[in-house]
Structure 1
Amino acid sequence: MAAKYAGGCAHVHVTAIAEPIDNHECHCNVCKSVTGQHTTHVAFFNHGDVRVDHPEKLKRVPFNAQNPDGPLEICLCTDCGAVIMLDDKQGRIRVAVPNVMGYDDAAFPKASYHAFWDETKGYPKPDDGRPVYSGLRPEFTWPAGA
């Protein structure tokens, strides 16, 4: 199958062969801490829809420093340190942050909603016409793990 989206770095290439199963603008404190961005465009893919050409070149670190045993890991290139993807130890999803992980952000569909916003963020509720939720969209269902 042809890649719909491609990212990574010069040493590790990542391809997604399907559309994201979730595509949101994230307001969570973990994303803010990891990316340094006010909000982060995040795309979830079914785990099997994202391929990595050199998994042996990935260094894995906890995504959430407050929960180091949590399911998500940041995968970094061992050659250059580039952030390649988030991988789920349970085999449910793989995550792309297009503007951080070597993807053409403009090629991705626009995030369809805002996730993990609450009034404690210290800024106004987004009003760009997209739904705003305190977590993931209510109808989102986690895929089965590996």
Structure 2
Amino acid sequence: MSHSFSGGCDHVHTHADHDPIDNHTCHCSVCKSVTGQPTTHVAFFRHDDLEVDHPEKLNRQPFNANNPDGPLELCTCADCGTPIMLDDKQNRIRVIVPNLMGYDPSFPDTTYHAFYDPATGVPRPDDGKPVHEALRPDFVWPQGH
């Protein structure tokens, strides 16, 4: 069966049939540290909208080493080590980084820049997309369960 969005690795697959609720270019220090990228394409899905076929094959570790009790866990494949998703312990969202988590290059482009901090000395993005110091102002966190 074909899905709107699908990714993962040879051992663990994720998919969604609903659009992401947020799709941004992240400039935060945690994403830079975890991915090694200067900016990161990040897509948030409602927790139950992103399905995982073999959750028992996921290794989980804190996403933010400076906040090990934070809500997000980086999930990697126990067999091959591929990053699969970020899972929210509060069951609000699941997060994917399309270029690192097995998604097709045709994944929809980001709509804005998040967590841009001019104090880093990095030039302000000039691609015409809105630039925010946090998530977009109208973003509302879904309810967990």
TM-score scaled by length of structure 1: 0.97
Distance 2:19 2:123 in 1: 30
Residue in 2 aligned with 1:130? 129
- Give CA deviations for 1:62-86 in whole Å, capped at 9, x if unaligned: 0000000000000010000110000
Q: Where do 1:28-67 residues align within 5 Å?
A: 28-67=28-67
Alpha-carbon deviation of 1:121? 1.9
Residue in 2 aligned with 1:140? 139
For the 8 Å contact 1:61–1:73, the answer to whether it is kept is yes
Distance 1:12 1:29 in 2: 28
For the 8 Å contact 1:16–1:49, the answer to whether it is kept is yes
RMSD: 1.0
Provide structure 2 residue ranges, at least 5 long, that are not aligned to the other structure. Answer: none
How many residues align? The count is: 145
Provide structure 1 residue ranges, at least 5 long, that are not aligned to the other structure. Answer: none
Alpha-carbon deviation of 1:122? 1.7
Distance 2:43 2:130 in 1: 16
- Give CA deviations for 1:15-66 in whole Å, capped at 9, x if unaligned: 0121000000000000000000000000000001011000000010000000
Distance 1:130 1:138 in 2: 14
For the 8 Å contact 1:2–1:17, the answer to whether it is kept is no
Alpha-carbon deviation of 1:108? 1.4
TM-score scaled by length of structure 2: 0.98
Residue in 1 aligned with 2:109? 110
Aligned to 1:31, the other structure's residue is in SS state: helix
Sequence identity, in percent? 67
Residue in 1 aligned with 2:11? 11
